[in-house]
Amino acid sequence: MADSIFHFGAGKADGSKDMRDLLGGKGANLAEMSSLGIPVPPGFTITTAVCNAYAITDALPQGFTQELQQAVAVLEGAMQRSFGDTTSPLLVSVRSGAKFSMPGMMDTVLNLGLNSQTVKSLAAASNNERFAYDSYRRFIQMYANVVRGVDTRPMEELLTAVKKKSGVKTDADLSATQMRDLAGEFLQIYADVLGEPFPEDPWEQLLGAIKAVFQSWSGRRAKVYRRLHNIPDSLGTACNIQCMVFGNLGNDSATGVAFTRNPSTGARHIYGEYLINAQGEDVVAGIRTPQPIRQADAAGSGVVSMEESMPALFKELTTVCAKLERHYVDMQDVEFTIEAGKLWLLQTRNGKRTAEAALKIASDLVKENIIDKKTALMRVQPDQLEQLLHPTIDPNFKRTVLVKGLAASPGAGSGRVTFDADEAEKRSSNGEKVILVREETSPEDIHGMYAAVGILTSTGGLTSHAAVVARGMGKPCIVGCNAIHVDSKKQEFATASTTVKDGDLITIDGSSGEVMLGEAPLIEAQLDENLLQFLQWSDQHRRLRVRANADTPQDAQRARELGAEGIGLCRTEHMFFDENRIALVRKMILVEKDADREEILQKLLGEQRQDFVEIFKAMSGLPVTIRLLDPPLHEFLPHDAEGVSFLSKKLDFDSEWLRSRINKLTEFNPMLGHRGCRLGITFPQIYDMQVQAIVEAACEVEAKAKGSVLPEIMIPLVGAAEEFHWLQARAEKICKEVLAKSRVQVSCLIGTMIEIPRAALTAGEIAEHAQFFSFGTNDLTQTALGMSRDDAGKFLDRYIEIGIYKRDPFSVLDQPGIGRLVRLACEEGRAARGDLKLGICGEHGGDPSSVRFFHEVGLDYVSCSTFRVPVARLAAAQAGIAASP
């Protein structure tokens, strides 16, 4: 274990910011700041190598304790204090720090080294007994909770009770005696719960805390976070031991967090919160509502900003922030403590930000000539862009605001109130929209936050857990809404005038912080300038075209506005489900004679043609890929007794006959059944009608605007070249006939979806006939993984949990399996037909990592759902830049 401990502090360091793998993000940046001459309390980092060794053996490596003692001796020397010494005790913080920031996920212990003796020395040394016992009771509580897993709510309740009894509002108002008494009671709770006394030996404390940090890496909440953020379990966390500096030493002390730019809007000024006479955890945990750092952010609120109360320190902080941002070439998120008028930096890292802020910061950095456009493009996570397109409340709607909190994450959402994360997940999976309401959130709530359409908390600031996590998820969120009282037990929250119960409908506006009763009308997002410019830059750096999956003229129009360069998938079955047509469609399916079927199809022809006319108009000048009928016919029919009875009356069919006919159409495995082009082979009249409608519509639109129509007819579920060729021949015949009748020239491509493995395996043969391939990666994933999307819920979570699939293969393309088929089909298809057009129209077309793969294998375009078009544009640019930086 040569690499187990790295020192930093006093203007020098063993490590640097480039050693994140070994030191974690926090440790690497503490080293870097130290080297930069920024004031950092001295300390050392225990590396991730130790964590990984611990994960395997469940014990600290041999000889580690000696190394640790030597490292602590260095700190003792620097501080002229001694660990466990009763006269001049050294106190330390123990913090985790993984390679990637995992806010709230890992555990921290402050004030370690205190015990019944050293607390007295601290009181004497600081000449502040209240401070010493405040620190002590904090330490006991944190240690109990983090290191020993004790439920510390009774301690919180004691604290609240004391404040209430004394008639004071904040912890800072409690006296030294009260703090000492609390510490005593906390020790008693600890002993009662664990059946053993609180450890007096600082070394026992220290080793316990280090182990707790390493154990927390393998804890459930850390695993959930990593799974959600695609962080490998194998990284491990480092552990940082640092001399304590105290924000709770009095009114010339404080603690806070700051962003070098506004993380919500991206505005170019320092932004953050602080608390006087407090320790760092108070700000992040949202226990007290902190005050703004910048005067402008406090304007009119009556609270005192740091700029106002500590102007020199504010200036110093601003200077440090500017230095850090310039050094790291990105917006930073820093933690600081002011101990008796001296500023200490405890952490810096690239700051999380909303999509809006990410765009603005990246754009501004380009304008400030700090980064180039390519770098800017790589700075924004494509997934984030979608949140800019989330709905807002209709501005014409007259809002009746129930209550207002802090606007923590933009966008608006309406849903039913729930107070429990599990319940939120459950209801959401039943298709209900829910808003999760909590006093504050914790990492245990993440699954519920994920499931909710919005989050509302009564305490905490803009950097509280709820706020940070919601922004990352792109969910509307309001925090610190002090005016409501949340009673989780009663399942309700109350304002002065109103009580809102579990299941009641509310609307939250995460951009304004307003909470309203009932459901508000939401409207589509407007595209802001930064986004448009950013997407323009993206377009300059991508080879991959981006199309949308759209079935209606409205969808097509919206997709075009978002930059879609065509429609990659227009599903015709939705047109069949139109309520004015469904009866006719059902009749067409049910009749037994081909002649009757053809007669009905003739009636549907005109309507289908009109569908296509409107879509071609909306996409004038751009290609439109229309998929011929795909779902099994029984999907159009009712299956419940009531529906069958209604239909039998409506169509004048004998109900017994109808029931038996529907039963006959029912399938064991519809996914693998009589659908896709198998319908086209067995009921050729249906495809004939659709092809006729497409080509007639194309001629009609082309006649009015030359060059406007680029139709592409897509035959679904092909598995064999012969199958495609048989259908292609019919379609081409109809095409020719229609074109001969009209006097318009329209060039209509005929291609296929590659969505069953055999199609990929015989792509070379298919490409001898097909003019384009569009990978239907949804069905390809289902068939090649042998996994029904509708049924996988029963086991897929478990599969991801134990790492069989790293991500849900229906969201993120499974590259070793499905990707291999895609690559093979591309290569052999192109070998057979040099100008074969290649695209993808599964859900994966809007997933950034999948888009990168599609770029690499040489597709011409990706097609995705409308709101993912900007995501795909940026992802395509990043793929292009990554391939040739």
- Considering only 173, 578, 656, 722, the residue that binds its own copies (CB under 8 A) is 722
Residue 790 C-beta: closest distance to its own copies, Å:
4
Residue 785 binding its own copies, by CB under 8 A? yes
- Considering only 16, 670, 808, 856, the residue that binds its own copies (CB under 8 A) is 670
Residues near 52 by Cβ (< 8 Å), separated by ≥ 6?
A: 234, 236
Task: Using alpha carbons, select from 112, 65, 101, 94 the residue that is nearest to residue 214.
Answer: 94
- Considering only 602, 682, 745, 811, the residue that binds its own copies (CB under 8 A) is 682
Residues near 28 by Cβ (< 8 Å), separated by ≥ 6?
A: 15, 16, 17, 18, 19, 20
| Contact region with its own copies (CB under 8 A), list: 89-97, 161-169, 518-526, 809-817 | 809-817
- Considering only 370, 672, 703, 857, the residue that binds its own copies (CB under 8 A) is 672
Distances (CA, A) of 259 to 142, 350, 365: 26, 9, 15
Amino acid 222 reads: A
Residue 782 binding its own copies, by CB under 8 A? yes
Residue 688 binding its own copies, by CB under 8 A? no
Catalytic residue among 7, 51, 243, 465: 465
For residues 435 to 474, the per-residue mask of contacts with its own copies, x marking binding by CB under 8 A and - elsewhere, is ----------------------------------------
Pairing of strands 505-509, 392-393: unpaired
Residue 579 Ramachandran class (φ > 0 left, ψ -120 to 50 alpha, else beta)? alpha
- Considering only 61, 148, 817, 830, the residue that binds its own copies (CB under 8 A) is 817
Binding to its own copies (CB under 8 A) within 761-780 occurs at 761-762, 765, 779
Residue 683 C-beta: closest distance to its own copies, Å:
10
In the Cβ-directed half-sphere of 686, how many Cα atoms lie within 13 Å?
A: 25
- Considering only 805, 807, 849, 857, the residue that binds its own copies (CB under 8 A) is 805
Return contacts of 557-560, CB within 8 angstroms, 24+ apart. Answer: 557/618, 558/524, 558/866, 559/866, 559/869, 560/618, 560/619, 560/622
Residue 269 C-beta: closest distance to its own copies, Å:
49
- Residues comprising the chain, all counted: 885
Residue 674 binding its own copies, by CB under 8 A? yes
- Considering only 814, 833, 867, 879, the residue that binds its own copies (CB under 8 A) is 814
| Contact region with its own copies (CB under 8 A), list: 346-354, 360-368, 578-586, 751-759 | 751-759
Distance CA 884, CA 869 (A): 23
Q: Which is nearer to its own copies, 492 or 635 (CB)?
A: 635
Residue 759 C-beta: closest distance to its own copies, Å:
8
Residue 429 binding its own copies, by CB under 8 A? no
28 in Cβ contact with 91 (< 8 Å): no
Residue 726 binding its own copies, by CB under 8 A? yes
- What is the b/e burial string over 676-709, where b = at least 16 CB atoms within 10 angstroms of the residue's CB? bbbbbeebebbbbbbbbbbbbbbbbbbeeeeebb
Binding to its own copies (CB under 8 A) within 157-196 occurs at none
Distances (CA, A) of 318 to 304, 313, 340, 665: 17, 8, 19, 72
Assess whether 321 carries a catalytic annotation: no
Q: Which is nearer to its own copies, 176 or 792 (CB)?
A: 792
State both tokens at 448: 């519920």
Residue 857 binding its own copies, by CB under 8 A? no
Count the neighbouring beta carbons within 10 Å of the beta carbon of residue 405: 24
Q: What are phi and psi of 451, to 5 degrees?
A: -80, -25
- Considering only 304, 787, 857, 881, the residue that binds its own copies (CB under 8 A) is 787
At 107 the three-state DSSP class reads coil
Residue 114 binding its own copies, by CB under 8 A? no
| Contact region with its own copies (CB under 8 A), list: 166-174, 183-191, 298-306, 800-808 | 800-808
- What is the b/e burial string over 595-630, where b = at least 16 CB atoms within 10 angstroms of the residue's CB? eebeebbeebbeebbebbbbbbbbbbebbbbbbbbb
Residue 233 binding its own copies, by CB under 8 A? no
Residue 803 C-beta: closest distance to its own copies, Å:
6
Catalytic residue among 841, 844, 855, 864: 841
Q: Which is nearer to its own copies, 316 or 667 (CB)?
A: 667
Distance CA 34, CA 16 (A): 9
- What is the b/e burial string over 479-510, where b = at least 16 CB atoms within 10 angstroms of the residue's CB? bbbeebebeeeebbbeeeeeebebebbbbbbb
Residue 755 binding its own copies, by CB under 8 A? yes
Assess whether 748 carries a catalytic annotation: no
Q: Which is nearer to its own copies, 108 or 782 (CB)?
A: 782
At 229 the three-state DSSP class reads helix
Q: Is the dihedral of CA 496, 501, 502, 503 positive or negative?
A: negative
Residue 832 binding its own copies, by CB under 8 A? no
| Contact region with its own copies (CB under 8 A), list: 28-36, 461-469, 547-555, 715-723 | 715-723
Return contacts of 661-664, CB within 8 angstroms, 24+ apart. Answer: 661/590, 662/634, 662/637, 662/638
Residue 767 C-beta: closest distance to its own copies, Å:
14
- Considering only 1, 168, 267, 720, the residue that binds its own copies (CB under 8 A) is 720
Q: Please work out the total of residues on this chain that contact its own copies, with binding judged by CB under 8 A.
A: 49
Residue 221 C-beta: closest distance to its own copies, Å:
23
Return contacts of 795-803, CB within 8 angstroms, 24+ apart. Answer: 800/227, 801/227, 803/233
378 in Cβ contact with 550 (< 8 Å): no
The C-alpha R_g of the chain, in whole angstroms, comes to 32
In degrees, rounded to 5, the angle at the alpha carbon of residue 445 between the alpha carbons of residues 441 and 449 is 90
Residue 681 binding its own copies, by CB under 8 A? yes
Residue 794 binding its own copies, by CB under 8 A? yes
Q: Which is nearer to its own copies, 119 or 785 (CB)?
A: 785
Residue 426 binding its own copies, by CB under 8 A? no
| Contact region with its own copies (CB under 8 A), list: 33-41, 95-103, 205-213, 814-822 | 814-822
Task: Using alpha carbons, select from 88, 80, 115, 94 the residue that is nearest to residue 44.
Answer: 94
In the Cβ-directed half-sphere of 851, how many Cα atoms lie within 13 Å?
A: 33
Residue 795 binding its own copies, by CB under 8 A? yes
Residue 820 binding its own copies, by CB under 8 A? yes
Residue 723 binding its own copies, by CB under 8 A? yes
Residue 631 binding its own copies, by CB under 8 A? no
Residue 591 binding its own copies, by CB under 8 A? no
Residues near 685 by Cβ (< 8 Å), separated by ≥ 6?
A: 594, 597, 598, 601
Task: Using alpha carbons, select from 51, 24, 50, 94 the residue that is nearest to residue 349.
Answer: 24
Q: Which is nearer to its own copies, 133 or 773 (CB)?
A: 773
Q: What are phi and psi of 578, to 5 degrees?
A: -50, 135
- Considering only 816, 834, 835, 884, the residue that binds its own copies (CB under 8 A) is 816
| Contact region with its own copies (CB under 8 A), list: 204-212, 490-498, 555-563, 787-795 | 787-795
Distance CA 81, CA 753 (A): 72
Residue 57 binding its own copies, by CB under 8 A? no
Residue 828 binding its own copies, by CB under 8 A? no
Residue 717 binding its own copies, by CB under 8 A? yes
Q: Which is nearer to its own copies, 94 or 679 (CB)?
A: 679
Pairing of strands 545-549, 477-479: unpaired
Distance CA 433, CA 469 (A): 19
- Considering only 798, 834, 835, 884, the residue that binds its own copies (CB under 8 A) is 798
Distance CA 315, CA 379 (A): 28
Residue 667 binding its own copies, by CB under 8 A? yes
Residues that bind its own copies (CB under 8 A): 667-674, 678, 681-682, 717, 719-720, 722-723, 726, 755-758, 761-762, 765, 779, 782-788, 790-792, 794-795, 798-799, 802-805, 814, 816-818, 820-821
Active-site residue numbers?
A: 465, 841
